Structure 1
């Protein structure tokens, strides 16, 4: 990757999970880590007299939290840069920071209250997943307990047939190369078909279709890139995700919904269902991405 990764940091467990995941990816890909805290924009309160003393305190406290977070990682193999930014919303500030630094990824933590190892979408992640033009990684609850030295053990791409599959495949290949991780292609084609169809016929046609999708994806791979391929099986997306094997250091890439505006994200129903069951971090990729 050798690029830059923006971590949206907050001084709580969710922020620690995001920082741990961002550090692990940066370490594996030799990327620079930009740790960003976003404070409310002064412009938002333009009609209210500004309390400069409070602003100085808030900024100073934010820098102190950033410094403590950086020191807690104690990883000399990752180049880190700490930033405080102002914006109307946390998501807006992170997107602006990603543009400012030319980052290829934004990392945020799951909302509090989620199950250990699972991601629960909070307001910040929700806004990012419906507006960002930069890929977004969601750090599951407890990601801070995964050793950053573990690196990325595998990159899995959830391949489908909708527009944007080519961008997803390209992003997956780049990430696998950058992190020196094996690539796995997973087809979710035969799942969530309309109710009432003959189960045997659905299973047969679904398996054939899945094989075709995986074969087509393999043909699009660069000549020097190899990948394993598997068709997910199950009556539902959730069941299929539970039936697949997952590595502790794995990353899953999915494409944004067909409803997304070009070059922007929109979390589709399939990805949302996967997210509820995935025990590993998910990265959502815009339909077209640089």
Structure 2
């Protein structure tokens, strides 16, 4: 949790810095592409504040209002953040298209190149830091923040390459084409950026509407789970998976065979305890309920 909070503070401070940097350069250079980069960072700043709040809530145990804990807020926040990003990107693309069709935008491309160098290197550094913290803390919130910074780094890199090109042609006989570079560049940036928040939106939507994780994730869980219950005489082991933020919930039904002998409830508790311990050793965020049944109709 400490690593998660530290990563989110890094993200917040980074956003504040890059918002100021982008808006300052946008005013000085007159570039819509840099302005969009700043607005994107500003949106990230607003959602970063929410992310820190939700991360603290997710640490709370369940209560009368949230019977399964507060981790269900995480996919809801990620869904909201990705949706806002998509809306901002689409709006920027429409604006860029209109400017392109009306003659383009004049900009100070030399200083824009300087901005591109600073922003690209800075965003990639923050994205890599958050990726490391996200991997260490196993936090979906930090992982989504890392992806958001990676998108921002791609935006800045695209801005940099475009401005180098625009600055080059502005010094040539094709200078009259230079104003078209800024809106064209912005449309290219949006096309590059949209798939990442789009994927986050779809993954978060799966969790919000309680869909199962992707088949490869479910299959891997099954490969880990079945051996932990293999010693129990059974005819079938049925499991259902639901990912809620950082937690992965398993509902496991063990259809015991005729050879299964129950001497005490403590024996069932021991089976559950050992199976859960082995699964948590693989993934500490696993939450399991194991039910033993003899009647198959109770499973389906």
**Shorter chain as normaliser: what TM range?**
under 0.3
TM-score if structure 2 supplies the norm length?
0.23
Give the structure, 1 or 2, with the largest relative contact order (CA under 8 Å, sep 6 or more). 1
Give the number of the structure whose residues are more often helix, by fraction. Answer: 2
User: Going by fraction, where is strand more abundant, 1 or 2?
Assistant: 1
